[in-house]
């Protein structure tokens, strides 16, 4: 990447900005950094934090775009940070409906930056906003992280539904009820309800569920086409966060007593070999309840 000045494998050849340096030396990358931004899969998040600590560099600020509960513990990313890192610097999470290829191509996009330190969130938002990229601020770290942790699971379900040819009615029902499940889990964890109607909630959910740039949606499409889980994962060729998320979200929901029937059925399809058609039938046959 240092020579090509682009990530040819993952970012569709979007060129790096002239001011962006590339190094494989973590300590060198931290030199004089005002803010460290981590963008790694959830299963690598803790180990990356440990590596940061081991450099001995005193961080001035930390932010992350990692999405998902930690599989082994059920912790959200900010809780992993609290367990691993010193707490004498501001932290924030970046999330929202953004495909990297479109951001890299300069297409208009928007996202959310959440921090308990409002000034820090605003400073980050101002630093990364451009004529084609806009950041909004929030203090609801929990809500923003729950949105990111759950939307990939529902995207697998949307891919399965569309792959089976169930149509637009089914897709929108899945999105709407998925949003309800996401919100229930978030509220149980202390999130703010309004967050789930914003970019990091409904926005990211709709994007991930409806566009084939989503690895999770494509994974669901592959399952609907009859591919096995391992074969579908290999075909994607990148981390499918929803594959891990189906297990971790299910565990957290069970621990809190939160009803998430769509997550439950997606889990059964992925991990127990349930036929997707039977999963849909199980959801449709649930007892009738009030919508809200």
Tokens of 51: 């590596």
List the structure tokens of 23.
């190094």
Closest of 206, 291, 279 to residue 246, by C-alpha: 279
Report which of 123, 111, 157 is spatially closest to residue 34, judged by C-alpha positions. Answer: 123
Q: Which of 161, 170, 147, 149 is nearest to 244 (CA)?
A: 149
Catalytic residue among 9, 60, 67, 151: 151
Q: Is 5 left (phi over 0), alpha (psi -120 to 50) or beta?
A: left
Tokens found for residue 215: 């690895």
278 is catalytic: no
What's the maximum distance between 2 C-alpha atoms anywhere in the chain?
A: 60
Sheet holding 36-38, edge to edge: 36-38, 62-64, 91-95, 109-114, 133-138
CA-wise closest residue to 152 among 82, 277, 66: 66
Catalytic sites, residue numbers? 151
């Amino acid at each position: 990447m240092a020579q090509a000045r682009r990530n040819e494998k993952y970012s569709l050849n979007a060129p790096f900005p002239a001011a962006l340096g590339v190094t494989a030396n973590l300590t060198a990358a931290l030199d004089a950094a005002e803010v460290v931004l981590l963008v790694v899969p959830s299963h690598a998040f803790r180990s990356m934090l440990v590596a940061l600590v081991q450099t001995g560099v005193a961080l001035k600020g930390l932010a992350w775009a990692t999405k998902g509960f930690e599989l082994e513990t059920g912790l959200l990313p900010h809780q992993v940070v609290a367990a691993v890192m010193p707490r004498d610097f501001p932290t924030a999470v970046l999330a929202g409906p953004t495909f990297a290829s479109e951001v890299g191509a300069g297409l208009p996009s928007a996202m959310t930056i959440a921090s308990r330190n409002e000034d820090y969130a605003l400073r980050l938002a101002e630093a990364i906003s451009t004529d084609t990229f806009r950041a909004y601020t929030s203090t609801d770290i929990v809500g923003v992280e729950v949105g990111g942790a759950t939307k990939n699971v529902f995207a697998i379900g949307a891919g399965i539904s569309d792959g089976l040819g169930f149509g637009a009615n089914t897709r929108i029902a899945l999105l709407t009820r998925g949003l309800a499940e996401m919100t229930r889990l978030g509220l149980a964890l202390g999130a703010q309800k309004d967050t789930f109607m914003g970019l990091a909630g409904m926005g990211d959910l709709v994007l991930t569920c409806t566009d084939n740039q989503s690895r999770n949606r494509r994974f669901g499409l592959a399952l609907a086409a009859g591919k096995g889980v391992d074969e579908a994962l290999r075909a994607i060729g990148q981390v499918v966060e929803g594959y891990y998320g189906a297990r971790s979200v299910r565990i957290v929901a069970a621990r809190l007593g939160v009803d998430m029937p769509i997550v439950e059925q997606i889990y059964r399809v992925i991990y127990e070999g349930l036929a997707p058609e039977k999963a849909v039938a199980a959801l449709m046959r649930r007892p009738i309840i009030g919508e809200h």
